[in-house]
């Protein structure tokens, strides 16, 4: 179970690094400007919350109360 959590957290970190260091500054911001930047950040936060939220749902489904 801990390996899955670690992989998800690392995955979220990699996702945010790629998003904020490459996709937003070079692809989104030049084309869509400030509103595109805000939208990209909002989508990234929602995706991260969804991924972290699935960890808690899996623990409840399996009956793990740690």
What is the pLDDT of the chain when averaged over all its residues? 85
Q: Quick one: average pLDDT of 10-39?
A: 90
Supply the DSSP string of 20-65, one letter for each residue. IIIIIIIIIHHHHHHHHHHHHHHHHHHHHHHHHHHHHHHHHHHT--
Of the pLDDT bands very low, low, confident and very high (cuts 50, 70, 90), residue 62 is low
Q: What is the C-alpha to C-alpha distance for residues 24 and 4, in angstroms, rounded to an integer? A: 28
Q: Quick one: average pLDDT of 53-62?
A: 73
Q: Quick one: average pLDDT of 16-27?
A: 90
Q: What is the C-alpha to C-alpha distance for residues 46 and 52, in angstroms, rounded to an integer? A: 10
pTM of the complete model = 0.70
Task: Provide the residue ranges of all domains of the chain, joining segments of one domain with +.
Answer: 1-66
Q: Quick one: average pLDDT of 22-44?
A: 91
């Amino acid at each position: 179970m801990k390996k899955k959590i670690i992989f998800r957290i690392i995955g979220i970190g990699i996702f945010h690094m790629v998003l904020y260091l490459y996709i937003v500054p070079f692809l989104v911001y030049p084309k869509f400007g400030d509103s595109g930047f805000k939208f990209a950040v909002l989508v990234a936060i929602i995706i991260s919350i969804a991924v972290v939220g699935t960890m808690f749902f899996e623990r409840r489904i399996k009956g793990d109360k740690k």
